[in-house]
Amino acid sequence: MSTTLFDLTGRTALVTGSGQGIGRALAGGLAAAGARVVLNGRTAARLEQAAADLRAEGRTVDVLPFDVTDHAAARAAIDGYEAGTGPIHICVNNAGMQHRGPLEDFPAEAFEKLLQTNVASVFHVGQAAARHMIGRGEGKIVNIASVQTALARPGIAPYTATKGAVGNLTRGMATDWARHGLQCNAIAPGYFRTPLNQALVDDPEFTAWLEKRTPAGRWGNVEELVGACVFLASAASSFVNGHTLYVDGGITASL
């Protein structure tokens, strides 16, 4: 199979939440595959540093800060980029947050914030990008789900609910937009070493449990998500739609 199927030269990819962690790794991987990448996040300094690092590697990078939980702001930013710079061919909805606590005491305001950050943002940004993609008859949307799209564990029930919603919203996007030439899929990471998971990484008891529970026997490294993202962003996945690809070391395959 020709590697040109995975070549993203001439494509532009917007990655939300790409100042650090998974989003930063995915942006770097897409750029390495030839894409122009558009970084998005809440912390301008972090975005500028990520952009500078990528440019130092010879990548073409733009920074597009906007609040992914604000429907009007997301649409204005994406419309403005399309009008002023060019088309966004790939939209990676990565922005997300976590809040841990027992369900019976879980703060209502924290639940609402999870819904806005993890679910509503996928709708806001995905819809704004898809409006342009539909007009061109092509486009790639990659939503970042989670192992919690399929599984639950104590203390994160609301997060689990949001990631289940991301999986089903992805199916809905494919159902509505495949006929317009879009491929809408999701990547469901298992347990990766990221700032979001740092408290768990630093917990020897949890790490021991995870290593025993995961067939691969270890935490994932964020670079191991790049291949899945490049596949779903490229011509190689032209007939893949509504799919959630688990990249989890086998944790969802084993009791």
Q: What is the pLDDT along the chain (255 residues), one digit of tens a residue?
A: 467 999 999 999 999 999 999 999 999 999 999 999 999 998 889 999 999 999 999 999 999 999 999 999 999 999 999 999 999 999 999 999 999 999 999 999 999 999 999 999 999 999 999 999 999 999 999 999 999 999 999 999 999 999 999 999 999 999 999 999 999 999 999 999 988 889 899 999 999 999 999 999 999 999 999 999 999 999 999 999 999 999 999 999 998
Other CB atoms within 10 Å distance of the CB of residue 98: 18
Copy the structure tokens of residue 216: 């691969």
Domains and CATH numbers, the chain: 3-248 (3.40.50.720)
Copy the structure tokens of residue 39: 């970084």
Closest listed residue to residue 41, CA positions, set 58, 27, 59? 27
Burial label, 192 (beta-carbon count in 10 A; 0-12, 13-18, 19+): buried
Give the C-alpha separation, 71 to 45, whole Å: 23
Catalytic hit among 81, 159, 191, 246 = 159
Give the C-alpha separation, 57 to 24, whole Å: 14
**Using only C-alpha atoms, what is the Rg of the chain?**
17
Copy the structure tokens of residue 44: 């301008």
Residue 191 designated active-site: no
Give the C-alpha separation, 26 to 47, whole Å: 14
